[in-house]
Amino acid sequence: MVKGLGAGNKGLSRPKRTQNLRHYILVNPKLKRSIAAPLAAPYLPEFLMLPKNPIIGLCQQASFMISAAKVDQCPADEGLEVAFAGRSNAGKSSALNTLTHANLARTSKTPGRTQLLNFFRLDDERRLVDLPGYGYAKVPIPLKQHWQRHLEAYLGSRESLAGVFLMMDIRHPLTDFDRMMLDWAGASGMPLHILLTKSDKLAFGAAKNAILKIQRDIHQQWGEGISVQLFSAPKRQGVEQAQEVLAQWLGLLETPEDE
Ligand SMILES: Nc1nc2c(ncn2[C@@H]2O[C@H](COP(=O)(O)OP(=O)(O)OP(=O)(O)O)[C@@H](O)[C@H]2O)c(=O)[nH]1
Ligand SMILES: [Mg+2]
């Protein structure tokens, strides 16, 4: 029998072995990071443990708030919110889910799935809003008019709207509706950030050419103020870049004027 592990002195020997094992995990560099990390973390310098972008923590605690069919059903117009707009099926709900690491917004292969303004709470003062897609031809005209009217009413009146993420399928960019949104954002001074979604559907070179062309067209027609990026929900491409914009608009990052 191994010394110290006899039935009679179990209680004395076990803690010692555990302590030795813990010590071994902490000091042995050959062990995998994933095993060593939980024990080693408290000894890391504080700045290494801080999340890079404060939006990440807020997104992790995001929760569904309310679905509104019209503007007067929306939550109180206080604090800050960012809305996800775009043509039907462009990937608005998928982008929102990818950015929040959750399955909050309902996605579907059937265009026209999101028919209400869906609000998601980040904290007491910040929200994300999944908007109904515009421009799906098969939606009955009265329903289409209903959405359009309420979408316009929402975009036109919402004081807490800090900016709009416009989703465009990279393979079908700048539809008439996208142009309308760009015109409206330009005229109203609303910050707009474009996600070219489904970029995984194109090869790397083709996606790069597409973004360069779209960027050029947008900057020529609507000015340099509109930012554009590649995005893929399944590949999680562009998540950090989009989170950076969200954090800025939601007042979570210091802007040069704050310093
Ligand atoms: N390959 C790929 N598929 C995507 C991506 N984003 C969304 N999709 C797919 O596209 C379809 C539509 O996505 P949704 O996120 O529901 O689109 P939506 O814009 O919210 O649509 P509506 O609510 O109908 O306006 C779904 O089948 C998604 O799985 C992406 O980045 N890459
Ligand atoms: Mg949707």
Ligand that comes closest to the CA of residue 89: 1
Q: What is the mean pLDDT of the chain?
A: 79
The whole-angstrom separation of Cα 45 and Cα 152 is 49
Is residue 151 in contact with ligand 1, taking CB distance under 6 Å?
no
| Nearest CA among 246, 100, 231 for reference residue 167 | 231
pLDDT at 4: 41
The whole-angstrom separation of Cα 215 and Cα 211 is 6
Rounded distance from Cα 27 to ligand 1 centre (Å): 47
Residue pLDDT, tens place only, 177-214: 899 899 999 999 999 999 999 999 999 999 999 999 99
pLDDT at 133: 81
pLDDT at 176: 86
User: How far from chain centre, in Å, is Cα 5?
Assistant: 54
Burial of 176 (0-12, 13-18, 19+ CB in 10 A): exposed
Q: Which of 87, 99, 100, 108 to mutate to test the pocket of ligand 1 (most atoms within 8 A of CB)?
A: 108
Model-level pTM?
0.78
CATH 3.40.50.150 fits 54-253, yes or no: no
Q: Closest Cα to atom 1, ligand 1: which residue?
A: 198
pLDDT of the chain, 259 residues: tens digit per residue: 444 444 444 443 333 434 443 333 333 444 444 444 444 445 555 555 555 788 888 888 899 999 998 888 999 999 999 999 999 899 999 999 999 877 777 776 666 556 688 999 999 999 999 988 876 655 566 666 666 777 888 998 999 999 999 999 999 999 988 998 999 999 999 999 999 999 999 999 999 999 999 999 999 999 999 999 999 999 999 999 999 999 999 999 876 565 5
Let me know: does 82 contact 120? Beta carbons within 8 Å.
no
The whole-angstrom separation of Cα 218 and Cα 229 is 12
Q: Closest Cα to atom 21, ligand 1: which residue?
A: 89
- Sort strands 80-86 and 63-68 into parallel, antiparallel or unpaired: unpaired
Rounded distance from Cα 117 to ligand 2 centre (Å): 10
**Cα torsion angle, 101, 102, 106, 108, sign:** positive
Cβ atoms within 10 Å of 138's Cβ, excluding its own: 9
The whole-angstrom separation of Cα 110 and Cα 89 is 7
What are the structural domain ranges in the chain?
7-49, 54-253
Is residue 79 in contact with ligand 1, taking CB distance under 6 Å?
no
Is residue 241 in contact with ligand 1, taking CB distance under 6 Å?
no
Amino acid at 119: F
The whole-angstrom separation of Cα 202 and Cα 170 is 8
Is residue 112 in contact with ligand 1, taking CB distance under 6 Å?
yes
For 106-133, letters b (16+ CB in 10 Å) and e give ebeeebbbbebbbbbbbeeebbbbbbbb
Atom of ligand 1 nearest to the CA of 88: 25
Q: Closest Cα to atom 30, ligand 1: which residue?
A: 198
Burial of 229 (0-12, 13-18, 19+ CB in 10 A): middle
Is residue 172 in contact with ligand 1, taking CB distance under 6 Å?
no
Residue 223 vs residues 8, 58, 68, 190: alpha-carbon distances, Å: 81, 31, 33, 13
pLDDT at 84: 95
User: How far from chain centre, in Å, is Cα 144?
Assistant: 27
pLDDT at 49: 55
**Which residues have C-beta within 8 Å of that of residue 195, sequence separation ≥ 6?**
91, 95, 165, 166, 167, 168, 229, 230, 231, 238, 242
Cβ atoms within 10 Å of 73's Cβ, excluding its own: 13
